[in-house]
Amino acid sequence: MQSCQHAMPQGRYAGHNAVADLLGLPGVPFATDPYVTCLDLGESGAVFTSGRHRAVQLAGEQAKTLKRKITSVLIYPPLDDPAALLAQSDPRPTRG
């Protein structure tokens, strides 16, 4: 199953840990935090949940708008900005 929820963070941790290993530094264990899902339901909108129990946070058009932002803005890296690329590859959770 395709899942950017896990693939994107795992890539950050893998990259960080590969460099840490080359430098003789300790790696960082992978952790999914926060755990969320955002499922596109076609014409019915979407559903956005949080936590392992998948509590619904948004549904319908609100969730669809968020899903569009996730797939069109958040998943794709800023290819023309080295500082932003490095910031995006930081495996530590950010709270904004």
Q: Of 18, 13, 36, nearest to 92 (Cα)?
A: 13
Low-confidence ranges of the chain (pLDDT < 50): 1, 96
Residue 95 lies in a domain: no
- pLDDT confidence of residue 1: 39
Residue 20 lies in a domain: yes
Q: Do 48 and 24 have their domain in common?
A: no
Q: For 66-82, write each residue's pLDDT tens digit.
A: 999 888 877 766 667 77
What's the domain count of the chain?
Answer: 2
Which residues are paired to 39 by β-bridges? 47
pTM equals 0.56
Helix (H/G/I), strand (E/B), else coil: 63: helix
Separation CA 54–CA 35 (nearest Å): 9
Q: Do 7 and 43 have their domain in common?
A: no
Which residue range is the domain that position 53 belongs to? 34-81
Amino acid at 64: K
